Amino acid sequence: MNVFLAMIPAFFWGTTYAMTQLTLPDWPPLLLGAIRALPAGLILLVIKPNLPNKADWPILIKLGAINIALFFSLIFIMALTLPSAISGVGMVSVPVFAMLFHWLFSKQRPNALQALSGAMIIIFAWLLFDPSSINLSPVGLAAMLAAISCIIIGSTITKALGTRIHWWTVLTWQLIIGGGILLIISGCQALISPDKYLHLAAEFTLLNGFGLSWIVLLNTVLGYGLYVWLLQRMSVVDFTFGSIANPIAGIISGMLLVGESYSPHQYALMAGMILASISPALIQMLRQKIAKPAAGRS
C-alpha cells in the first residue's frame, strides 16, 4: 500500500513539465518557482505551525537556496525548453550522478549491482539523447544536469542534519525561504523588464490559474506533504519503486497534454532507463524474500 501512496507525489511531480508547457508557456521560470514555493510553504505552515531554532536558520537558508530557489528555477527552465518525457526520464539518472558524487567525495564505492545499473542508464541515455536522433535544447540539458546536482547536494546536506531538525520544519521553511529568495529575484527581474510581467497580469486566463493551482496545491503542498509523511513509514526500496511514477507521468502527460510522440525505439530506451534505475532495489527485494523462508527453516 505504501508503494502506491509513494507513487502519488512522484506522479504529480512528473506532470510538472507538460502542465507548465500547456498552461504557463510564456511565464518566467523565476516567477514560476516563486509562485510554486512560497504559497505552498505558507499553506504547510498553517497546517502545522512551527518555528526553527535560532541555530538552525543558516542551514535552512542554505537548503532553501539550493533545494528550492535554484532547483525550482531549473525545473521550470527544463519544462519550458525540453519535452516532458525527456525531462521526466532524464531525471531517473540521479542515482548515477549520486553514485559518482559519493565515490569521488566520500570514497563510498558502489557495489557491482549499482555500478552495472549505472552503466546501463548511461548507455540508454547516450542513445536516447543522441543529437542525430532527437533535437534537444542545450539550455534545457544544462538545466537538467544542474537540477540533478541540486538534488544530490541538497539531499547530502539534509541527510547530514539527521534528526536535529524535524522533517516538517525543514520542508516548510525551505519552501518559504526558497520562495522568498525567488520572489525577490523575480521582483528585480520585473523592474528590469516590466513589459513581460505586465503582459502576464493583463492576459491572465483561467487556464493559467488552473496550471498554477495544479503546481502549487498538487505538485507541492500535496506532493511534498505526502512525501514527508511517508518518509517515516517507508523503506528506501519502497520509495524507489514509488518513484517510477515520475518518468511515466512525464511520458503520459507529455503525450496527452502537449501531443508529444516518439519512435518505438525511443520509447524502448526510456523504458530501459526506468527499469535500470529500479533494478538494484528490485533485486534487493527479491533477495530479501528468498532469504526469509531460508532463515525460517534454519
CA-CA distance, 281 to 243, in Å (whole number)? 12
- In this structure, which amino acid lies at residue 104? L
CA-CA distance, 13 to 75, in Å (whole number)? 10
Per-residue confidence (pLDDT) for residue 132, from 0 to 100? 78
Each residue of 277-296: pLDDT tens digit?
A: 888 777 777 777 776 665 55
Q: Is the pLDDT of residue 297 over 60?
A: no
CA-CA distance, 170 to 173, in Å (whole number)? 6
Distances from the Cα of 271 to the Cαs of 119, 133, 148, 244, 274, in angstroms? 15, 17, 20, 10, 5
**Region for residue 53 given its phi and psi (left: phi exceeds 0; alpha: psi -120 to 50; beta: otherwise):** beta
Percent of the chain at pLDDT exceeding 70: 92
Indicate whether this model's pTM tops 0.85: yes
Q: Is the pLDDT of residue 36 over 90?
A: yes
Mean pLDDT computed over 17-38: 95
Distances from the Cα of 132 to the Cαs of 50, 139, 264, 291, in angstroms? 52, 18, 16, 47
Average pLDDT, the chain: 87
Per-residue confidence (pLDDT) for residue 34, from 0 to 100? 97
Per-residue confidence (pLDDT) for residue 10, from 0 to 100? 87
Q: Is the pLDDT of residue 40 over 70?
A: yes
Q: What element of type H or E holds 248?
A: helix 245-258
51-55, 88-92, 162-166, 250-254: which has the minimum mean pLDDT? 162-166
Mean pLDDT computed over 247-257: 93
167 vs 251, higher pLDDT: 251
103 vs 53, higher pLDDT: 53
Max mean pLDDT among 6-10, 265-269, 288-292 falls in 265-269
Q: Retrieve residue 72's grid coordinates.
A: 525550482
Q: What element of type H or E holds 235?
A: none
CA-CA distance, 5 to 43, in Å (whole number)? 21
Per-residue confidence (pLDDT) for residue 238, from 0 to 100? 62
Per-residue confidence (pLDDT) for residue 65, from 0 to 100? 96
Each residue of 103-148: pLDDT tens digit?
A: 887 777 877 877 888 888 889 888 888 877 788 899 999 999 999 9
Q: What element of type H or E holds 115?
A: helix 112-128
Model confidence at 212, pLDDT cuts 50, 70, 90, reads very high
Per-residue confidence (pLDDT) for residue 162, from 0 to 100? 67
